[in-house]
Structure 1
Amino acid sequence: MRAPLGNFDHAAPAPDRLDELPRPVADAVRHWRGSVPAEQIVHVDTDPRWADTAVFVEHYGQDLLERSANCVVVSGRRGAETRMAACVVLSTTRVDVNGVVRRRLDARKASFAAMDVATGLTGMEYGGITPIGLPEGWPVLVDPAVVDLPYVLVGSGRRRGKLLVPGKAFAELPGAVVLEGLGT
């Protein structure tokens, strides 16, 4: 199979690569629902040595720079209550944590979750967190620019490998909210 983006040597439909995905991501792909068939989610093998964005696009294709998204875990606090969320924005933008996210979570303070918290709660590796397979009940805040792309490169839940996902699929993830101004 040829990947819809980039220059990858190994690409296959994600349902054929469940053994390459951490359990929460594999389970989400296995039980996929929505207008985009699971077979349109593509797993590509990548080398963790080239994880840095500049090196990654040099190795796998310049077209990936504008078509990659980051998924970050955010923690919002109000008093003793903590609310978790995932934010998906294009990699060329930054998440508006202290404005849009803080207000959406109805939190007094919001910040990126600590690495051990993010990996512990998601069951995914740091640097590979994906919005597919997040804990039940978490809001998945998605910038409209991500949804508007035909395909988006995002983490696979591991540092090795990425997923190529049709943009509109992000709006259909459990807990997804497309949020203007999320990426700045």
Structure 2
Amino acid sequence: MRLIFIVFLLALVGGVGWIAGSLHPAPPAILDPIKNAISGQDETTAEILDRLDTSTETNLEIATDEPERSPDPVEPDPSPDPESETSTDPIPVVFENQEAALAQYRVWISEARAVHPYPDSEDRMFDVMMCESGGNPEIVNPAGPYTGLFQYVAGTWDGDWNTYRDQAITDARAQIFATALAWNLGMQSHWGCYTRAH
């Protein structure tokens, strides 16, 4: 009787584990080393960083609502504000509507693909983004928690591979460029929507 109970309990635990694993798969940080060890493709962080080419990154100018400045020379302020000169925080981009945001995301996807070439189409990346977040850079899925356009976990976002990790995880442009970099490194399997997006 005790043996039957133990077998039943193990089957129940296994079934619940299988269901939980199907609904919330293990994060790539856990699965990738296992996959690499099985396939014999164990790549160190140093090898990944050696492949990165950060010299081609470009800065994107963002339009603001400030009026045009006059072309007349203006004398510099004798006491410049040291905080304004050293600030590296990006200017937040505010869109009038979702349509304008999605149009800008397509531009950034194109620019990111030029900087970090990957084999998939720009439409594929856009489809994955829409599947993951619906185009909402502020969205948070508490299961991870997964955050932003491409639903990054903080540990993955802060990884050594990500040259955009100094930007906020909710920065739409940074997420797009980081995802292009990840796809350039062959990390497409990190996104569940990658296999569903066409």
TM-score, normalising length: structure 2: 0.28
Q: Which has the higher strand share?
A: 1
Larger Rg, first or second structure (1 or 2) = 2
Q: Which has the higher helix share?
A: 2
